């Protein structure tokens, strides 16, 4: 679904991501973990075409993002690490606004919004987004990312900074989405959530990929390889 080959991203003379080759397989949840500044967000932004690599290639669904990014983006849903909402809009107005940006017919948009609000347990559709709790805001941002029913979801720390129950709900929701056929990449600090939900885990350190494998294999190799798993 996503293939990064020899990707480097430099900000002036600082290399945030270094020679990264990584594949996200169809139908899996791949977790990217690493310390602050490891290069997770930069990697995710390149996957969705928000920023371009300095060198190397990013392919999504077999297409080069440098050439076909505009086409591919319609199949992509992205949750940025910081997802400010328009706080003077109600949840419903906010999602309707984004459905218009996606050119969704109003009846289809309503059906999709109803379904998302229901499955995300977001009953307060007429409340201003600015008045919602942090967890509810995150759910609205996830609904926005899912509005156009993308095949591929890229989520930057979807469960971080939330209360444990909401955090677990969101992680479990990712599992449900994967079981419905979506491919998901998410970054996280919380290893427990990653273990619970991810089929494979990529560990990044100082912009480099240390390992990408199942948690089971990574655990077997702990101590043999020189990598560090950071617990929150």
Name the site residues for ligand ATP (rule: CB under 6 A). 11, 14, 16, 34, 36-42, 81
Considering the complex, state which of residue 40 and residue 144 has its C-beta at the smaller distance from ligand ATP: 40
Say if residues 188 and 217 touch (Cβ distance below 8 Å): no
Which tokens go with 40? 């997770």
In the bound state with ligand ATP, the residue whose beta carbon lies nearer, of 142 and 204, is 204
Q: Round to whole Å and give the CA distance between 165 and 169.
A: 6
Smallest distance, ligand ATP to C-beta of residue 93, A: 30
Give min distance, CB of 187 to ligand ATP, in A: 6
**Smallest distance from the beta carbon of 112 to ligand ATP, in angstroms?**
30
**Least Cβ distance, residue 164 to ligand ATP (angstroms):** 20
As to burial, measured by CB atoms within 10 angstroms (0-12 exposed, 13-18 middle, 19+ buried), residue 50 is middle
Output the six-digit token pair for 96. 């309707």
Residue closer to ligand ATP by CB (options 6, 106) is 6
User: Are the C-beta atoms of residues 127 and 160 closer than 8 Å to each other?
Assistant: no
User: Which residue is associated with the tokens 């967890």?
Assistant: 135
**What's the N-to-C CA distance of the chain in angstroms?**
29
- Cα–Cα distance for residue pair 204/64, rounded to 1 Å: 23
Q: Which two tokens stand for residue 145?
A: 């990312």
Angle at 194 between CA 10 and CA 59, to 5 degrees: 40
Q: How far apart are CA 71 and CA 69, in angstroms?
A: 5
**12 or 224: CB nearest ligand ATP:** 12
Between 56 and 94, name the residue whose CB sits nearer to ligand ATP: 56
**Least distance (Å) from ligand ATP to the CB of residue 50?**
11
Q: How far is the CB of 6 from ligand ATP (least distance, A)?
A: 18
Between 91 and 153, whose beta carbon lies closer to ligand ATP? 153
């Amino acid at each position: 679904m996503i293939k990064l080959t020899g990707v480097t991203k430099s900000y002036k003379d600082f290399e945030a991501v270094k020679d990264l080759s990584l594949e996200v397989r169809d139908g899996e949840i791949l977790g990217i973990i690493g310390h602050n500044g490891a290069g997770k967000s930069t990697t995710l932004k390149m996957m969705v075409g928000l920023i371009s690599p300095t060198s190397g290639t990013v392919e999504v669904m077999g297409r080069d993002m440098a050439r076909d990014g505009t086409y591919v983006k319609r199949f992509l849903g992205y949750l940025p690490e910081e997802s400010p909402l328009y706080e003077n809009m109600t949840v419903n107005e906010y999602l309707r606004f984004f459905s218009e940006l996606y050119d969704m017919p109003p009846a289809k948009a309503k059906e999709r919004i109803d379904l998302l609000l229901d499955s995300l347990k977001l009953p307060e559709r007429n409340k201003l987004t600015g008045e919602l709790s942090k967890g509810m805001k995150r759910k609205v941002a996830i609904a926005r990312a899912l509005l156009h029913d993308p095949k591929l979801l890229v989520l930057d720390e979807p469960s971080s900074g939330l209360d444990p129950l909401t955090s677990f709900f969101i992680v479990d929701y990712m599992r449900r989405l994967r079981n419905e056929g979506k491919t998901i990449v998410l970054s996280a600090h919380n290893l427990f959530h990653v273990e619970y939900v991810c089929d494979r885990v990529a560990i990044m350190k100082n912009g480099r990929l240390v390992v990408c494998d199942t948690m089971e294999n990574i655990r077997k190799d702990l101590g043999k390889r020189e990598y560090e798993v950071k617990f929150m």
